[in-house]
Structure 1
Amino acid sequence: MSIGETLATARRAAGLTVGQVSERTRIRGALISGIEADDYSSCGGNFYVRGHIRSIARVVGIDPEPLIREYDEAHGMLEPVSAAAAFEAEIPVKIRERRSPNWSAAMAGALVLVLLYTVVRVLGSTGGPEQNARPVARPSAAKPAATSTGRPPSDDAIAVVPRKDVEVKVKAKRSSWLNVRDEKGRQLFSGLLPAGESMEWTAKKKIRVLIGNGGGVTLTVNGKDLGSPGTDGQVLRLSFGPGDPEGA
């Protein structure tokens, strides 16, 4: 029986629907259905597949470790990296920020044009410069149109605000060495995390984690339990942003 068939059979035996498993694991229903069909193409890579399998197995009441080993044998485990390679600088991706219109400059320009037009009309009139010019009304800031009911705009007209920060929690099953940095390279933690202890960090855009023993810790990213990211003695270099893990 394949991994997907095992998970689907266990889910049905537990009396759960795909939607109920999705609510408990925070994994999209489409991804769960794909995994039950042994289709991992939408999961975002081996690391996330292992985390999804582990989360689903725990909810349906079966041991995830045999399934993880079967997946690793069929698809290959994460490749370990050396400590030297783990500290190689990554090329930052520049994100172009959308600038809001400069209404102050626009209004100032409009006022200058109105004043110039008024001066020309006054000087060109037959009454001479002494003739009083009519008051010039300053343009007022445009107000948003109110609805006929007077109610604020509906929720479906408001864009969903994406998560602005990233939270990472590491718990040590066995003593493991960690190095944690934010998107600017500032060190948040470096040292040995004793067995049974846990730590968590929050950053605005990205958290980079260097793990000396991938099988000795468990990860929780943005509230999603990903389990152990690797195997005993495996050195891993991982990076997480506000939208990770994919499918949450």
Structure 2
Amino acid sequence: MIDDQTVNAFEAATGCGARLAQARQAAGLTLEAVGQQLHMPVQVLKSLEAEQWERLGAPVFVRGQLRSYARLLKIDLGDVLDQAQIGPVVPPQLVSHTHTPRARRIAESLGRRVLYVGITAVLAVPVWFATRGHFDGSADSPNTASLDVIPAAMPVAGGPAPTATPEAAPVAAVAAAPSAPYLASLTPVPRPATTAPAPAGAMELQFKGDSWVDIAAPDGSTVEKALIKSGETRSFNPGQVGRMVLGNASAVEVQQAGTIVDLSPYQRANVARFTVSSDGSVAPVPH
């Protein structure tokens, strides 16, 4: 127990640390025992009794440790604690963050959008110019013309334009107009179906399916050599044709003077080969 004389002796001590050390010794406590009760390291207790405040951190912590120590020893530091040169407890200063004005935020947002639009334009405009020629039907686009027909407005170099006939051979070159050049096309021009009545003794071919034909004149020149589509017809006068080769012969009906010609004697592997005399009669091709 701490008597009144001991308390007076504590009050006679000059500092907080000296009063705490004297009260601990009077209570018969060691630094280790006090440290276990207060959960403080022994070095902290020694610094408190020696008043080495700079080793204990912030003033607010030092004052709290002194009050806990005095509460354990049941002494009142009173005005001595206020007079101790621990340093005032200064509340933390609040530092406001930089405030961005609303006008500046709007300007920065618009600037980012303008930059995005500019980058998009730089990338998109060259692509648009590079690809527009594939979609625009400009006047500079070249025209096309079949090699089988010479356009009426296009003169052949070196002479007048010849009249195209069904028996004419394909023309190899056509003079190009400066403003709209023509390009050669390999697409065959379909021949119109024969509408005029066939003359007496004529041979008529009706195609009920696609058929490849090779028709030659009596002198061996080519009359027609092409793929004829289903639904078309051909008519030849007597003496105009000397030999015929008909592919897909089962889909071709041959009539001579209005009589259907049986092609089975001249047919092999669905290809019919036969000769035509001057009077229109049909005979096998001589081997």
State the TM-score, normalizing by the size of structure 2: 0.27
**Greater relative CO (CA pairs within 8 A, separation 6+):** 1
* Greater Rg over alpha carbons, structure: 2
Q: TM-score if structure 1 supplies the norm length? A: 0.31
